């Protein structure tokens, strides 16, 4: 069974631009969560989607948004990029929402210049 | 929520040394508990889990026992290898929001 895939793996943007990251969950998993990982803050929860609805949201500004499609694939978008948005963005899928047993993708490394 | 407190790193050991990474939890019930591992340049992988009190999870030589009397789920390995160098996470939840924090970095020297 294929694992969680994330595209692209690496991305370089400049301040003020916007970016869209994509995540394909494990087949059959309907819940997708997004996390931001930085050395200073560690792994922080962004949001979780289940059945195309956002079920849970972390403490991030409105510049961070996401969506989920009917096939459970998910995208997250960051608008008006700031230097501090440079991070590893991880996507995780699970069978149900609020499930701590999650399966993570390899991440997208975003660098903002 | 089910909050956890995980020891800060880094933990630096020589190969074949004994490893303990502490994780204690605060919960109203007995939630399932997990350990994840993140190898350099990769995403997180589930290492082991325990779904009820007194359960022992084990994988790749790592073990953790869900102890309700001490509210702990410490990760242990009898003899670490250089390849175990990674960041280890014991996640909790706060108001349904998963909390992973910075994890505990383990560095194993030959």
Strand A31-38 relative to strand A87-94, pairing: antiparallel
Residue A112 near residue A15 (C-beta atoms within 8 A)? yes
- Check residue B107 and report its DSSP letter: E
Percent of chain B with pLDDT over 90: 68
Helix (H, G, I), strand (E, B) or coil at A84: helix
Nearest-angstrom CA–CA distance, B93 and B95: 6
- Kindly identify which residue of chain A lies nearest to residue B95, measuring between CA atoms: A56
Contact assignment for B93 to A41 by CB distance below 8 Å = no
Query: Whole-angstrom Cα distance, residue A24 to residue A19?
Result: 17
Using a CB-CB cut-off of 8 Å, the residues of chain A touching B43 are: 4, 90, 92, 104-107
Indicate yes or no: CB of A42 within 8 angstroms of CB of B103: yes
Kindly give, in sequence order, each residue whose CB lies less than 8 Å from that of residue A67, ignoring residues fewer than 6 positions away: A49, A52, A74, A75
Query: Average pLDDT, stretch B54-73?
Result: 93
What average pLDDT does this structure show over B2-16? 89
What distance in Å separates the CA atoms of residue B2 and residue B8, rounded to the nearest whole number?
A: 19
Q: Dihedral (C-alpha) A53, B98, B82, B109: value to the nearest 10 degrees?
A: 140
In chain B, % of residues over pLDDT 70: 98
User: What confidence tens digit (pLDDT) does each residue in A96-107 have?
Assistant: 877 778 999 999
């Amino acid at each position: 069974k294929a694992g969680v895939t994330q595209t692209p793996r690496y991305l370089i943007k400049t301040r003020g631009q916007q970016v869209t990251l994509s995540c394909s969950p494990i087949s059959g998993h309907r819940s997708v969560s997004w996390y931001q990982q930085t050395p200073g803050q560690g792994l922080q929860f962004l949001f979780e989607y289940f059945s195309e609805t956002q079920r849970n949201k972390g403490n991030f500004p409105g510049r961070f948004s996401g969506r989920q499609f009917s096939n459970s694939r998910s995208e997250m978008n960051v608008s008006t990029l700031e230097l501090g948005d440079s991070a590893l963005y991880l996507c995780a899928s699970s069978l149900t929402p609020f499930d701590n047993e999650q399966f993570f993708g390899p991440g997208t490394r975003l660098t903002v210049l | 929520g089910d909050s956890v407190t995980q020891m800060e790193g880094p933990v630096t050991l020589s190969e074949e040394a004994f490893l303990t990474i502490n994780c204690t939890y605060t919960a109203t019930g007995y939630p399932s508990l997990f350990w994840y591992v993140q190898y350099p340049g990769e995403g997180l992988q589930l290492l082991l889990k325990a779904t009820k009190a007194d359960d022992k999870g084990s994988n790749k030589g790592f073990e953790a026992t869900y102890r309700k009397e001490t509210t702990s789920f410490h990760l242990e390995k009898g003899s670490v290898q250089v390849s175990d160098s990674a960041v280890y996470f014991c996640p909790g939840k706060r108001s349904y929001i998963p909390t992973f924090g910075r994890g505990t970095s383990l560095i194993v020297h030959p």
